[in-house]
């Protein structure tokens, strides 16, 4: 799942009704990102993670491409190198995320992916030489305590590999957002950033699938692919709208509702049990992510 990280702040004089609408759009986005995870987990019974990523990004490439052509947008970009770097890192992150969803409880996989703000803050120090405030340092420490608590039963069991890959999806997502931020500073339109990510991921999936076996798309499983593509697209559009008309920090904080919705879906559909330690760990990660996004 990809989240914009450096949208412009809403103007101070934005009417209250408008930024409340932005908050509502982020709630919609969080719900549909949770539903996307639902379709990924259900689809994993019929398709590999590589196939699911391919169909999800192919749907996005088609819809974004058609919309751009309708608006007569320009696809040519002077920053292709940044797009390729961001696309490859983001694609691998999405692969790991979908694999984690397929092999872990939905709430655990989603929470591990939502460690990306922590890794973004850490990478900003290591790569961009930025300085962190005391609050940001405390947020990182708090977040990684939560990660250890959440991964402890997974690492002790048979699904330790999926747990580490899920954490890796958060790391790579944070790294990908560094490129998103740089593209934003270069003045690259948001639609083009999302389009090239989807395009590069689709091409990457098509290449990888040459070394794997395609599973047949039938009348009994095509609804899973359509649901995956539709929920991901609606979530992306709603999130974009939320950041455009709402307040950045409010929208960023509300994005963590995806963890809540995913937990509820896991309980309702698969009867996932949530231990006290897991609940505490998820709470720590969410709080630390909110604090890290305010650095």
Domain assignment present for 26: no
pLDDT score of 11: 42
The CA-atom distances, in angstroms, between 181 and each of 21, 124, 186, 198, 276 are 25, 11, 9, 17, 36
Domain assignment present for 7: no
Domains in the chain, number? 1
pLDDT in tens, 226-251: 999 999 989 888 887 777 776 766 77
Domain assignment present for 102: yes
pLDDT score of 20: 63
Residues of the chain with pLDDT under 50: 1-2, 4-14
- Report the mean per-residue pLDDT for the chain: 86
pLDDT score of 159: 83
Domain assignment present for 233: yes
Contacts (Cβ under 8 Å, ≥6 apart) of 74: none
Determine the 3-state secondary structure of 132 from DSSP.
coil
C-alpha of 199 from chain center = 17
Other Cβ atoms less than 10 A from the Cβ of 267: the count is: 15
Domain assignment present for 253: yes
Domain assignment present for 9: no
Structural domain boundaries, residue 210? 35-293
pLDDT score of 255: 86
Domain assignment present for 165: yes
pLDDT score of 290: 82
- The span from the CA of 96 to the CA of 201, in Å, is 13
pTM for this one? 0.88
Domain assignment present for 63: yes
């Amino acid at each position: 799942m990809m989240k914009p990280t450096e949208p412009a702040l809403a103007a101070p004089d934005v009417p209250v009704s408008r930024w409340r609408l932005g908050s509502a759009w982020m709630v919609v986005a969080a719900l549909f990102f949770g539903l996307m995870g639902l379709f990924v987990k259900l689809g994993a019974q019929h398709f590999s993670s590589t196939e699911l990523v391919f169909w999800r990004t192919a749907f996005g490439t088609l819809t974004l491409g058609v919309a751009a052509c309708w608006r007569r947008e320009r696809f040519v970009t002077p920053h292709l190198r940044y797009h390729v770097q961001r696309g490859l890192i983001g694609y691998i992150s999405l692969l790991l995320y979908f694999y984690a969803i397929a092999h872990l409880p939905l709430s655990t996989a989603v929470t591990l992916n939502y460690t990306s703000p922590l890794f973004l803050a850490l990478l900003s120090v290591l790569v961009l030489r930025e300085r962190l405030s005391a609050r940001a340092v405390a947020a990182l420490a708090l977040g990684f305590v939560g990660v250890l608590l959440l991964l402890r039963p997974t690492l002790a069991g048979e699904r330790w590999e999926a747990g580490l890959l899920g954490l890796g999806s958060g790391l790579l997502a944070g790294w990908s957002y560094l490129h998103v931020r740089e593209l934003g500073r270069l003045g690259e339109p948001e639609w083009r950033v999302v389009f090239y990510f989807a395009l590069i991921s689709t091409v990457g999936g098509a290449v990888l699938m040459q070394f794997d076996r395609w599973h047949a798309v039938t009348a009994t499983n095509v609804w899973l692919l359509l649901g995956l593509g539709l929920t991901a697209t609606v979530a992306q559009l709603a999130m974009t709208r939320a950041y455009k008309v709402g307040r950045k920090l409010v929208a960023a904080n509300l994005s963590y509702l995806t963890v809540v919705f995913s937990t509820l879906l896991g309980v309702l559909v698969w009867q996932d049990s949530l231990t006290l330690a897991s609940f505490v760990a998820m709470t720590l990660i969410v709080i630390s992510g909110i604090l890290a996004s305010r650095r």
